[in-house]
Amino acid sequence: MLLLAGMVALPAMAGTSCDPRPMSPGDLAAAADTALRVVAELDAADAPVAIVARVGKDLSRHGLVYSHAGFAVRDHVDGRWSVVHLLNDCGSDRSGIHVQGLVDFFADDLAEQDARIVWLEPVLAGRLAMASTGTTATRLHDAHYNLIARPGSRDFQNSTAWMLEMLGAAVAGGDATTRERAYATTVGEGFTPDRVRIAYSRRVLGGMFSANTHFADHSVATRLSGDYPVVTVRSILRYLEQAGHVARQVEWRHGVRRDTPGPA
């Protein structure tokens, strides 16, 4: 119980702090169960940080599993395993860097309680741990949020774009002092974004015109085609694997643990 208390800030809520609905006991228990499984794996590994992914939204129609991820940092000032990640503020056009315990991370009104942990090679992990708890996390943050931010955009950012740029800064060491340089580092190592199909009819009829979605961040040609390049969790993991930065991975799909062979 002491371990659980250290991983959650009560009262637990569904969604973000904008949503005052309390979680049901069953949903909170499911989130705690996932968090405890993840903590056990993190504790067993000799690493200062790991990537932890979750299924916040059902993206199966795009062929994707994980919608969001963050950096789980060992012995963070806010708790032994605290997740540092970027979150949109209440559906607005703004974002912030947040630190959450693992129960809160998995209690955010998720589509599924699937989870994935990715450990990085030691040198990169050490740099990333320092970046996640230092000024790099805020220096590479742009508060202008766009759900479908164009990779490398100078005007907008979303959670996965921030994560990719953090990784690029860690790979480059002290050389990547700006978002542009951090992103260029990942491209130089072979990063390629996924493409998400958003038909014009869905943009209009599906109500995708909102404060946190800016289609004009993309070229006219992209908007006409409906195929939007986006930094996804899958594209980040694909990049890390191809660049040789991954040490080990494990995931739980529908409650079943498995060592995973590739990105999702």
Mean pLDDT, residues 247-256: 92
pLDDT at 208 over 60: no
Q: How confident is the model at residue 261 (pLDDT cuts 50, 70, 90)?
A: low
What's the whole-number mean pLDDT along residues 18-44? 86
For residue 78, the tally of other CB atoms under 10 A from its CB is: 15
Q: What is the DSSP letter of 196?
A: E
Average confidence (pLDDT) over 1-12: 38
Q: What is the pLDDT of residue 95?
A: 97
Question: How confident is the model over 148-176, as a mean pLDDT?
Answer: 94
> What percent of the chain clears pLDDT 90, i.e. is strictly above it?
67
Q: Which of 66, 75, 68, 70 is nearest to 43 (CA)?
A: 75
pLDDT at residue 11 is higher than 50: no
* Cα 106 from Cα 81, distance rounded (Å): 13
- Band of residue 156 on the pLDDT scale cut at 50, 70, 90: very high
Provide the whole-model pTM: 0.89
Q: Which tokens go with 27?
A: 């949903």
| Residues 207-224: b if buried by 16+ CB within 10 A, e if exposed | eeeeebbbbebbeeebbe
Token pair 């060491």: residue:
173
Angle between helices 233-242 and 159-172 (to 10 degrees): 20
Q: Which one of 64-68, 75-79, 110-114, 230-234 scores highest in mean pLDDT? A: 230-234
pLDDT in the model for residue 83:
97
Tell whether the model's pLDDT for residue 13 goes beyond 50: no
Six token digits for residue 65 = 């599993």
User: pLDDT tens digit string along 120-154?
Assistant: 999 999 999 999 999 999 999 999 999 999 999 99
Q: Which of 56, 187, 52, 39 is nearest to 120 (CA)?
A: 52
What pLDDT, in 10s, does the model give residues 87-103?
999 889 999 999 999 99
Tens digit of each residue's pLDDT (9 = 90 or more) over 104-124: 999 877 778 899 999 999 999
What is the total residue count of the chain? 264
**Using 50, 70 and 90 to split pLDDT, how confident is the model at 49?**
very high
260 pLDDT band (50/70/90 cuts)? confident
User: What is the rounded CA–CA span in Å between residue 85 and residue 66?
Assistant: 15
How distant is the alpha carbon of residue 97 from its chain centre? 11
State mean pLDDT over 189-193. Answer: 98
Q: DSSP string of 47-69? A: -SEEEEEEE-S--GGGT-S--EE
